[in-house]
Copies of this chain bind each other. A is one copy, B any other.
Amino acid sequence: MQIIKTRNTLKKEKIIKIFKRAEKPMSSQEIYCILKKTIDINLSTVYRALNTLVKTNFITKELRQNGITYYEINDHIHKHYLVCNKCNSVLKLKECPIDNLAMEISKKTGYTITDHELEFRGICPNCINK
């Protein structure tokens, strides 16, 4: 475990605010676009800020099957999503259905399980009627 020193800057504050308001995981691009509306910021600054926020455990990151990394506030609760293949809408599951399972698998296999990713994909009720 290593100590990570961080400074408070306007830009990082803005990013943190976006996460606090957001109700879904956000990509670097989404965050960049929101920021661009009100301040001048470079995309690499966004990436660096995101990485420090991940290091300090303020947010978590997850690489989705579409090849894009999504970030969201880390409330220390596992989250999983239903992603619509048509409209890309995202529905957050209320609870992690995997934790028990993970423990079970850990016992069976001898692995110490530290993380898991679970992503469902399909068609949301909205799109299915189109």
Contact = CB atoms under 8 A, between A and B. Distances in A.
Given A63-B63, A63-B67, A109-B82, A120 B102 contact: yes
A64 to B, nearest CB: 8
A93 interface: yes
A67 B109 CA distance: 25
Q: How many copies does the complex hold?
A: 2
Nearest to A84: B111
B67 A91 contact: no
A101 interface: yes
Given A106-B122, A112-B122, 8 more contacts: A84-B111, A93-B105, A110-B124, A114-B122, A115-B121, A117-B117, A117-B121, A118-B119
